């Protein structure tokens, strides 16, 4: 049981393999509506790693995520994807990322297959129907539901289609925005298995969540975000998951005046 609380981010940079760095935020500052939301955020996600950004409402989690997608431009600092600045290489950055939005919204009047086909074409990705079926198998979407419009889907089923899309995009990087909110425990469990498997297959996964338990369960690394500051980072040793209690305590400590 070797779990370290890294106080200095600079230390982390020295330790990691730069070639594997898929996502990287460096002294990232972001302002919206004249108010600074992120105050110099630095962290990175490497290939094969699940990074959970944890924090309460308004901590700046989604802002961080959207910065990687280039929706929000940093006021200073850098956001890099595959070692290249997002700002100057927007198209490459986005094509390297599969994004799973909060409460996955797809086209309600299309069925699962049609949605997947549409979004894959949109991403300019050639995928045959067998691959689509395989992906839907992998997320365990019921066969009889695949031809039905999303209108009648439950939240969990929609999430499965969205994940299938992320899988089919076959990108090196996955950004997941509150992927488990509103799902039932079984679905969450299934989802975590899938995320783990994807990371093990070499993908870099950045997950934004306020679900402490889930984050600890699946992540290799956890960043604690509070009011736009990264107040702490935890890493798990190989084969071990992070101790929930510890994160809770760390959170509480930082919260205490």
Partner 1 sequence: MNLMANMRRESTLMLRDRAVIAWAGVIFLLAVYAVWVGMAEVKQQRESITWLLQQDTLERDAALTHQSDYGGVAYYSFHLTYDEPSNLAFAAMGLRDETAWKHRVRMLALEGQIYERDAGNPVFALIGRLDFAFLMAVVWPLALIMLLHDLKSSERVAGRYNLLVATAAQQSALWVSRALLRAGLLLVVAVLPFVTGALLSGASLLAIVLVLAMVIIYAVFWLLVCYWLASWQQPSPTILAANLGVWLLLAVVIPLAGRITIDQLVPLPSGSEILMTQREAVNDAWDLPKQDTFDAFVATHPQWQEQAKVGQGFQWDWYYAFQQVGDQKTQALSDAYRDGRLHRHALAGLVAWVAPPALLERSMQRIAQTDLKSVITYESKIREFHAQLRQFYYPLLFGDGAFDADNLQQRPNFSLTHSNDS
Q: How far is the CB of 127 from partner 1 (least distance, A)?
A: 13
E strand spans, the chain: 5-6, 21-32, 35-46, 50-55, 76-81, 84-85, 97-100, 173-177, 204-209, 221-226, 229-235
Binding mask 175-204 for partner 1 (x = CB under 8 A): ------------------------------
Is residue 31 at the binding interface for partner 1, with CB under 8 A as the rule? Answer: no
Q: How far is the CB of 119 from partner 1 (least distance, A)?
A: 5
Q: Which is nearer to partner 1, 38 or 161 (CB)?
A: 161
> How many other β-carbons are positioned within 10 Å of the β-carbon of residue 84?
14
CA atoms within 13 Å, Cβ hemisphere of 111? 12
Q: Which is nearer to partner 1, 115 or 235 (CB)?
A: 115
Q: Contacts from 183-186 at CB under 8 Å and sequence distance 24+? A: 183/155, 183/156, 183/159, 184/156
Q: How far is the CB of 101 from partner 1 (least distance, A)?
A: 5
> Rounded to an integer, what distance in angstroms lies between the CA atom of residue 160 and that of residue 172?
19
Is residue 103 at the binding interface for partner 1, with CB under 8 A as the rule? Answer: yes
Query: What is the longest distance spanned by two Cα atoms in the chain?
Result: 57
Span near partner 1 by CB under 8 A; candidates 17-25, 41-49, 90-98, 206-214: 90-98
Scan residues 106-145 and list those touching partner 1 (CB under 8 A): 106-110, 118-119, 121-124
Token pair belonging to 250: 């760390």
Span near partner 1 by CB under 8 A; candidates 1-9, 25-33, 95-103, 247-255: 95-103
Is residue 66 at the binding interface for partner 1, with CB under 8 A as the rule? Answer: yes
Residue 256, helix vs strand vs coil: coil
Q: How far is the CB of 102 from partner 1 (least distance, A)?
A: 8
Q: Site residues (CB under 8 A) for partner 1?
A: 66, 69, 71, 91, 94-95, 97-99, 101-110, 118-119, 121-124, 165, 169
């Amino acid at each position: 049981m070797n779990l370290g609380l890294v106080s200095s981010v600079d230390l982390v940079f020295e330790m990691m393999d730069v070639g594997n760095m898929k996502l990287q935020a460096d002294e990232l500052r972001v302002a919206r509506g004249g108010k600074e939301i992120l105050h110099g955020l630095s962290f990175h996600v490497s290939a094969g790693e699940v990074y959970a950004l944890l924090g309460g409402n308004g901590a700046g989690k989604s802002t961080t995520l959207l910065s990687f997608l280039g929706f929000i431009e940093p006021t200073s600092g850098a956001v890099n994807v595959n070692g290249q600045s997002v700002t100057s290489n927007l198209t490459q950055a986005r094509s390297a990322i599969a994004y799973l939005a909060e409460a996955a919204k797809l086209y309600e009047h299309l069925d699962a297959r049609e949605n997947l086909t549409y979004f894959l074409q949109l991403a300019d990705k050639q995928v045959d129907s067998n691959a689509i079926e395989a992906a839907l198998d992998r997320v365990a979407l019921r066969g009889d539901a695949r031809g039905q419009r999303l209108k009648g889907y439950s939240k969990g089923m929609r999430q499965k289609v969205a994940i299938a899309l992320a899988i089919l995009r076959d990108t090196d990087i996955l950004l997941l925005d509150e992927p488990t909110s509103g799902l039932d425990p079984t679905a969450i469990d299934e989802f975590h298995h899938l995320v783990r498997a994807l990371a093990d297959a070499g993908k870099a996964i950045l997950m934004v969540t306020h679900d402490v338990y889930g984050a600890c369960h699946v992540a290799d690394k956890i960043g604690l975000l509070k009011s736009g500051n990264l107040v702490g980072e935890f890493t798990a040793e190989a084969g071990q998951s992070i101790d929930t209690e510890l994160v809770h305590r760390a959170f509480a400590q930082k919260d205490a005046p």
